[in-house]
Amino acid sequence: MKTITIDPITRLEGHGKINIFLDDKGNVENAYIQIPELRGFERFSQGRRAEDMPQITSRICGVCPVAHHFASNKALDAAFNVEPTIAAKKLRELMYCGYIIYDHILHFYYLGGPDFVVGPDAPAAKRNILGVIEKAGLDIGKEVIKHRAYGQKITAILGGKATHPVCGIPGGISKGLDKNEVSEIKKMVDSCIDFAKFSLKIFDDIVLQNKDYVDLIKSDPYQLNTYNMGLVDDKNKLNFYDGLIRVTDQKGDEYLKFPGKDFYKHVIERVEEWSYMKFPYLKAIGWKGLTDGADSGIYRVGPLGRLNASEGMATPFADKEFNRMFETFGGTPVNSTLAFHWARLIELLYVTERSKELISDKDITSNKIRNPVGKPGEGFGVVEAARGTLIHHYKLNEKGLIDKANLIVATTNNAGAITMSVRDAAKGVIQNGNVNEGLLNKIEMAFRAYDPCFACATHALPGGMSMQVDIYDTKKKLYKTFHQ
Amino acid sequence: MKTIILGVGNLILGDDGIGIHVIHHLKKHIENKDIVLDEAMTGGMNLLDKIIGYDKAILIDAVNIKEVAVGEVKRFLIQDFTSVHSCNPHDVSLIEAITLAETLGDKHIPKKIIVIGIVLHEMPLEFTETLSPKVAAAIPKAVEAVISELNET
């Protein structure tokens, strides 16, 4: 049989490329992760009909189409000066919960979890969903597949299509739910609640009961003492779909709370010559380089960022788990990067419980799902994508066409933190010029915790995570290269 | 025999969308209730969901093979690919997704999965709906390759 090997690195120039620079003693001085950024979105959008933006932007990313769809939709609500109806908001949020259900399940069981379930030192070929099933059993595999599919089914019923929704319109949503659909969703949601609880139990049994793993989670290379950011409701409880952006400090206290439209009053982006990525930071704190602590404006978003930035979960079981996590770590905030996995499962439980509330709500079958739009203007839309705060900002002209469009994606918000986590993981495995074998894995664990979603083609012929690490000496001469 | 022909790629990312452009052209040539033409701006698990239940799947996608000229059309079986990586860190490979489904005893995976690849050398990084001339010129060859594949059993 013919075998074709396509080098992952040449396939997408610079993707997942990590450069590590050593000092004259052979220890890590700096480490940089290089990620290509898609260009020209503003020009591409200019002159398009604003109401097409939820469809167009959901195609930017094969991973977060629902998050883009609704960030865009909310930006249009604001730009057309219209408040969606109560039923429309609830339908959108329910659909959003479906997306978080399948996205978080995929991450825990397929991508992040294998490091723990199969083990951080297991060979790369085993650290995947097949390795998880080999260890945990076929029945668990079937449950994983089933509940991921439920999340997608809920999204598809509400959104019209499984991957790229077509339902969102300014002022509401184009399709409501009938009674049959409600009972179908109810059944799936009940099952998802049990599965989320089961997933937390797996995390307990496999990770928290294992001292080596707990030590790893609490070890120095995986700690970052940054600010945290996430959307909260009026009681400062975590919310994915709506609310104010809350930022907490290193003590867990509120530092800022503001609506999405004020984002650029508080956050500014730093451009570094070595990277395509922009590094957002808190304006009033300032840029102190890639460093953590109260004097550095770098913040984290995503599951752990969100839990740290909120005062609890709005549903009972998830709130209990929220408290348990912080108690286990000895208070707020939790700074361990690997705790992102735990936070993600608590969020999974929250969205399943929240789905149950929404699908049981009397408004959910209402046919008042759209309000008429006002005059076109300017608008911001903010949601919490699975991997962090996502913002769309549009300016429309008087004909309702796009004049300016700008997006701040979740992984960009985490750019500084991801870079630091990669550097610190590298420091832990490179000493005096000696490179430990676990290098690639330890680095991968560091950035995988964030579940980053790099600008990418949705291009198919797929594979796992690709990565290349180049290590340079003090004269910037290539010292060693690792591939995976 | 039920067949799905699936164009894969991103329509707003230039040449990356070639697979879907080919599907649009194929619609003029194929009218058969046992053959479904569809597009997938996604990968991995979602791609598996699309092809499950069919006897045969033909994927049309961009591939990067440096040794072959841009715009050439190549035919592969899915098994030919061993270390094909996704650019997307939040997904598994189609091959991994298929292996998983097989492990769990799924009986609905297509028996034959063919890839019609249109060669690119660089993945596009700029938003556009326009194909580059060399890649656009590959459309008739790719259409022909798919049709001759349909004639095979």
More reliable by pLDDT, B85 or A6 = B85
Helix, strand and coil in chain B, % to nearest 5: 35, 25, 40
Convert the pLDDT of each residue in A305-315 to its tens digit. 999 999 999 99
Given an 8 Å threshold on Cβ–Cβ distance, is A460 in contact with B47? yes
Same domain, A182 and A205: yes
Convert the pLDDT of each residue in B19-32 to its tens digit. 999 999 999 999 99
In this structure, are residues A417 and A300 in contact, taking their beta carbons and an 8 Å threshold?
Answer: yes
Classify residue A29 as exposed, middle or buried by CB count within 10 Å of its CB (0-12, 13-18, 19+).
middle
Per-residue pLDDT at B82 = 56
Per-residue pLDDT at A5 = 32
Q: Does some domain include residue A395?
A: no
ipTM, two decimals, is 0.89
Same domain, A181 and A250: no
Q: Does some domain include residue A23?
A: no
Which residue bears the tokens 């000066």?
Answer: A81
Per-residue pLDDT at A63 = 76
Q: Does some domain include residue A218?
A: yes
Using 50, 70 and 90 to split pLDDT, how confident is the model at B145?
Answer: very high
Convert the pLDDT of each residue in A126-161 to its tens digit. 878 888 888 888 999 999 999 999 999 999 999 987
Same domain, A321 and A258: yes
**Rounded mean pLDDT, B29-57:** 91
Using 50, 70 and 90 to split pLDDT, how confident is the model at A13?
Answer: very low
Instruction: Specify which of A66-75, B6-15, B116-125 reaches the highest per-range mean pLDDT.
Output: A66-75
Instruction: Specify which of A209-213, A341-345, A435-439 reaches the highest per-range mean pLDDT.
Output: A341-345
More reliable by pLDDT, B64 or A396 = A396
Same domain, A279 and A244: yes
Given an 8 Å threshold on Cβ–Cβ distance, is B81 in contact with A145? no
Q: Does some domain include residue A27?
A: no
Q: Does some domain include residue A436?
A: no
Q: Does some domain include residue A397?
A: no
Q: Is A145 on the interface with B (CB under 8 A)?
A: yes
More reliable by pLDDT, A119 or B19 = B19
Which of A326, A350, A371 is where one domain is finished? A371
Given an 8 Å threshold on Cβ–Cβ distance, is B92 in contact with A129? yes
Per-residue pLDDT at A457 = 45
In this structure, are residues A446 and A222 in contact, taking their beta carbons and an 8 Å threshold?
Answer: yes
Same domain, A291 and A274: yes
Same domain, A321 and A288: yes
Given an 8 Å threshold on Cβ–Cβ distance, is B82 in contact with A3? yes
E strands, B1-153, are: 3-8, 35-40, 56-64, 73-77, 112-120
Instruction: Specify which of A109-113, A199-203, A273-277 reaches the highest per-range mean pLDDT.
Output: A199-203
Residue A339 CB partners (closer than 8 Å, separation 6+): A217, A304, A325, A329
Given an 8 Å threshold on Cβ–Cβ distance, is B8 in contact with A38? no
In this structure, are residues A418 and A411 in contact, taking their beta carbons and an 8 Å threshold?
Answer: yes
Per-residue pLDDT at A155 = 96
Per-residue pLDDT at A483 = 66
Same domain, A240 and A291: yes
Which of A354, A371, A388 is where one domain is finished? A371
Same domain, A153 and A289: no
For the cut 90, the answer to whether the pLDDT of residue A20 exceeds it is no
Convert the pLDDT of each residue in A408-422 to its tens digit. 989 899 999 999 999
**Collapsed DSSP state (helix, strand, coil) of residue B38:** strand
Average pLDDT over chain A reads 89
Same domain, A207 and A166: yes
Per-residue pLDDT at A15 = 53
Token pair of A454, please?
A: 């790099």
Average pLDDT over chain B reads 88
Fold of the B3-151 domain = Rossmann fold (3.40.50)
Using 50, 70 and 90 to split pLDDT, how confident is the model at B120?
Answer: confident
**Rounded mean pLDDT, A260-282:** 89
Convert the pLDDT of each residue in A68-80 to its tens digit. 999 999 999 999 9
Same domain, A255 and A136: no
Domain count, chain A: 2
Q: Does some domain include residue A57?
A: no
Chain A residues with CB inside 8 Å of B123's CB?
A: 11-13, 457, 459
Same domain, A188 and A244: no
Convert the pLDDT of each residue in B77-118 to its tens digit. 887 775 444 456 677 778 888 888 988 888 899 999 999 999
Q: Does some domain include residue A463?
A: no
Share of chain A above pLDDT 70, in %: 92
Using 50, 70 and 90 to split pLDDT, how confident is the model at A3?
Answer: very low
Using 50, 70 and 90 to split pLDDT, how confident is the model at A274?
Answer: confident
- For A64, which residue in chain B has the nearest alpha carbon? B90
Which residue bears the tokens 């492990």?
Answer: B103
CB proximity under 8 Å: A 36-65 to B: 36-41, 43-44, 56, 59-60, 62-63
What's the CATH code of the domain at A165? 1.10.645.10
What's the CA gap between A484 and B21, in Å, rounded? 33
Q: Is B32 on the interface with A (CB under 8 A)?
A: no
Given an 8 Å threshold on Cβ–Cβ distance, is B127 in contact with A4? no
- Which range among A107-116, A338-347, A447-456, B14-23 shows the weakest confidence by mean pLDDT? A447-456
Same domain, A194 and A270: no
Give the residue numbers spanning the domain of A326. 224-335
